[in-house]
Amino acid sequence: MLDGIRLSKDQTAVVALGIDSEGRKHVLDFALGSSENLEASRELMSRIVNRGFHCDHRLYVVLDGSDALRSAVAEFFADAVIQRCLVHKERNIKGKLSKRHWGELSRLFTRLRNVQGIKAAEEVFDELKEFLKPINAEAYRSLHEAGDDLLAMHRLNVPSTLHRSLLSTNAIENSFLNTRRKLGRVTRFRAETDQASRWLSYALLEAEKGFRKISGHASTGLLIAALARREPDPE
């Protein structure tokens, strides 16, 4: 999982959280930048690769929708399976709709999170499009531009018990809550020093001590098997 945490008005950290075969979460690394931009995202990917990180199968990556993060992942892990965070997308669309439509939007996204398999997911996705198209063009466009990235996990056809943990970036965002508690009132870092890096390293490692296994961790082996199956090349 990749996401950004704002440390101050001038500094943002892009953080990578990994999940191992037993469902345990680990902070992999972070990179500092002025925002969640391509430069910081590429630096993070480069650092992870240079430290020896590799997978024997395709990488499954959950993102919040950042174009910079997606581009960086695709550059270093060209065959990665990229899943857009459903929570972020629902929140984004909700912000474009009148309150009277929020209930139906929530119902459809809840169904999308719960169904298993690509056929069922595509049916719900089509219902979402049919619901949004006549009521709000911007909301419909927001859903449409995310496209296949919203259904990446469903396409792998793994047990829906993994959906709670792996269809959103909630796991990394929860770690950010604990990180902010550790940082306390520290919101100003001198750019000419490594204060931000040292403080964030401390806070993330402290937060990591409280990590639990992801929900549905008993099925991670099935996810790994699905990622190991290469999709056939188009003719």
172-200 average pLDDT score? 79
- Amino acid at the residue 191: A
Assess whether 179 and 75 both reside in one domain.
yes
Give me the pLDDT at residue 233, please.
44
Confidence of residue 232 (pLDDT cuts 50, 70, 90): very low
* 230 occurs within a structural domain: no
Q: Is the pLDDT of residue 234 over 50?
A: no
Give me the pLDDT at residue 230, please.
66
Assess whether 1 and 103 both reside in one domain.
no
* 162 occurs within a structural domain: yes
Give me the pLDDT at residue 192, please.
67
Give me the pLDDT at residue 187, please.
64
Q: Is the pLDDT of residue 150 over 80?
A: yes
* 228 occurs within a structural domain: no
Q: Is the pLDDT of residue 85 over 60?
A: yes
Boundary (domain end) residue, out of 167, 192, 220: 167
* 235 occurs within a structural domain: no
Assess whether 26 and 142 both reside in one domain.
no
Assess whether 147 and 199 both reside in one domain.
no
Give me the pLDDT at residue 235, please.
43
Assess whether 35 and 94 both reside in one domain.
no
Q: What's the pLDDT tens digit per position in 35-63?
A: 889 999 999 999 999 988 888 889 999 99
- Across 146-163, b (16+ Cβ under 10 Å) vs e yields beebbbbbbbbebebbbb
Give me the pLDDT at residue 184, please.
75
* 219 occurs within a structural domain: no
Q: Is the pLDDT of residue 179 over 90?
A: no
Assess whether 76 and 55 both reside in one domain.
yes
Assess whether 163 and 180 both reside in one domain.
no
Q: What's the pLDDT tens digit per position in 18-33?
A: 999 999 999 999 999 8
Contact (Cβ atoms closer than 8 angstroms) between residue 227 and residue 60 = yes
Assess whether 16 and 132 both reside in one domain.
no
Domain residues for the domain of 15 are 1-81+169-212
Assess whether 5 and 106 both reside in one domain.
no
Assess whether 96 and 160 both reside in one domain.
yes
Instruction: Provide the strand spans (E) within the chain.
Output: 2-6, 12-19, 25-33, 60-63, 81-84
Q: Is the pLDDT of residue 174 over 70?
A: yes
What's the number of domains the chain is made of?
A: 2
158-182 average pLDDT score? 89
* 223 occurs within a structural domain: no
Assess whether 29 and 132 both reside in one domain.
no
Give me the pLDDT at residue 8, please.
79
Assess whether 143 and 70 both reside in one domain.
no
* 157 occurs within a structural domain: yes
* 153 occurs within a structural domain: yes
Q: What's the pLDDT tens digit per position in 87-131?
A: 999 999 999 999 999 999 999 999 999 999 999 999 999 999 999
CA-CA distance, 142 to 190, in Å (whole number)? 38
CATH code, domain with 202: 3.30.420.10
Name the one residue in this structure whose structure tokens are 């188009």: 234
Give me the pLDDT at residue 194, please.
81
